[in-house]
Structure 1
Amino acid sequence: MSDTTSDEPVPAPVDPTKPSIARVYDAFLNGTDHYEVDREVLRKVRQVAPEAAELAVENRAFLIRACRFLAARAGITQYLDCGSGLPTAENTHTVVRRTLPDARVVYVDNDPTVLAHSRALLAGEERTWMVDADIFDPEALLRDGRVRSALDWTAPIALLQIGTLHHYTDEALRPRRDLVRAYVDALPSGSYVVISHFLDPEDEYGATARKLEQAFLHSMMGSGTFSTRADLERLFGGLEMVHPGLVPCADWWPDTPYHGPRTAGRRCIAGGVARKP
Structure 2
Amino acid sequence: MIRKLIPLVVFTAFSAFAQKPSTPQKPGMVSYTYRHSFQRDVAATLDTVKALGITDMEFSNLFGRTAQDIRKLLDERGMQCSSFGVGYPDFLNKTAEVAQNAKTLGAKYVRVAWIPHEGPFTLAMAEETVANFNRVGKILKEEHGLTFCYHNHGFEFEPYEKGTLFDYIVQKTDPNYVSFEMDILWTYFPGQDPVQLLEKYPKRFKLMHLKDLRKGVKGNLSGGTPVENDVALGTGQLPLPAIMKAAKKTSIQHYYIEDESPNIKTQVPQTIAYLKTLK
Q: TM-score, normalised by structure 2?
A: 0.35
Bigger helix fraction: 2
Q: TM-score, normalised by structure 1?
A: 0.35
